[in-house]
Amino acid sequence: MSVFDGLASGATDWLGASLGSGRDDAGTAGVAPTRGAQGASGSGGVGSSYGAQGASGSGDGASSRSARGVSGFANGASVFSGGPNDGRALQRLLDELGRLPGIGPKSAQRIAYFLLESDAEQGRRLANAILDVKRQVHFCPVCFSYATRDTCDVCADSTRDVTTICVVSEPRDVAAVERTGSYHGLYHVLGGVISPMDRIGPDQLHVRELLARLASGEVQEIILATNTDVEGEATATYLSRTIKPMGVKVTRFAVGMSVGGEVELADELSLGRAIEDRREV
């Protein structure tokens, strides 16, 4: 072997060793760490960035939701004073909401969860509104409708026609008649209707108070505005027979065809009442 062959062989062995070491060190410890760094900064960095966004996004959403939601009531614990925590607060709310008319289990859940996601101030306003209406609203001592003062707004209004009294079954019927804007007299709420099945007779209604209002002779007409069902008709018939001997005019709300109704679609009873209550035009 010549000197040049020996040098070439030595250089090849040295180069091979260097490349092998480079592949082992740079390939595993060099390239891999670079990829690892990219992976850490790429996936880890992106992951941390997503994590930061997710944490801040969901965290902010959670914090804002909790600020509006359950923690709102928790933070507003000083606003409300309740009994000991027995773990059934939500169930009690669902039970109480389910007792309201027209509220089923699904509606009760929607209302309950809405209240949980609301802040404490909104819950406090609702609770105070319920307490205020129970404390401040009472029956008018004259007509037995709802009142917030000594008497209801209708009885306290000096511009109303005192010679006419519209007799209704419930206080909510007063609001229905008032919305028409066609009646300007006074009211008298019976507090129900005569119903033998429910053991409700005239003595359980405000009939005696109505007759006392007629004793002054100032009232000239009584308008019977009870419902047109069996109980409502029975109540109207009883009142008519009781009041007419006192010399007071007794009228009844007209019934029959509804406004915009078609004759062929009307039931026999409504059409018959419309014929009986027809008026001259």
Residue 132: give its domain's CATH number: 1.10.8.420
What helix, strand, coil percent values describe the chain, rounded to 5? Answer: 60, 10, 30
Q: Are strands 185-189 and 161-168 parallel, antiparallel or unpaired?
A: parallel
Share of the chain above pLDDT 90, in %: 57
Per-residue pLDDT, averaged over 252-277, amounts to 81
* Strand spans (E) along the chain: 138-139, 146-147, 161-168, 185-189, 221-224, 249-252
Contacts of 195 (CB under 8 A, 6+ apart): 231
pLDDT band at residue 265 using 50, 70 and 90 as cut-offs: confident
pLDDT band at residue 80 using 50, 70 and 90 as cut-offs: low
The reply to whether 165 and 249 lie within a common domain is: yes
Per-residue pLDDT, averaged over 85-112, amounts to 93
Spatial separation of the C-alpha atoms in residues 31 and 153, rounded to whole Å: 88
pLDDT band at residue 245 using 50, 70 and 90 as cut-offs: very high
Give me the pLDDT at residue 105, please: 94
Domain that holds residue 177: 146-276
Per-residue pLDDT, averaged over 155-173, amounts to 96
Q: Is residue 187 part of a domain?
A: yes
Spatial separation of the C-alpha atoms in residues 33 and 6, rounded to whole Å: 38
The reply to whether 249 and 167 lie within a common domain is: yes
Give me the pLDDT at residue 175, please: 94
Q: Is the pLDDT of residue 75 over 70?
A: no
The reply to whether 106 and 201 lie within a common domain is: no
Average pLDDT, rounded, for the chain:
78
The reply to whether 216 and 255 lie within a common domain is: yes
Q: Tell me the pLDDT tens digit for each residue of 14-69.
A: 444 444 444 444 444 433 444 444 443 444 443 434 334 444 444 444 444 444 44
pLDDT band at residue 275 using 50, 70 and 90 as cut-offs: confident
Which residue, chain included where needed, has tokens 């509104």? Answer: 129
Give me the pLDDT at residue 56, please: 41
The reply to whether 151 and 132 lie within a common domain is: no
Q: Is residue 237 part of a domain?
A: yes
Q: Is residue 197 part of a domain?
A: yes
Higher pLDDT, 8 or 247: 247
Spatial separation of the C-alpha atoms in residues 142 and 88, rounded to whole Å: 44
Per-residue pLDDT, averaged over 150-167, amounts to 96
Global pTM?
Answer: 0.64
The reply to whether 119 and 217 lie within a common domain is: no
> By mean pLDDT, which of 3-7, 101-105, 118-122, 180-184 is the weakest?
3-7
Q: Is residue 74 part of a domain?
A: no
Per-residue pLDDT, averaged over 60-89, amounts to 53
Q: Is residue 29 part of a domain?
A: no
Tell which of 77, 104, 136 closes a domain: 136
Give me the pLDDT at residue 62, please: 41
Give me the pLDDT at residue 66, please: 41
Domain count of the fold of the chain: 2
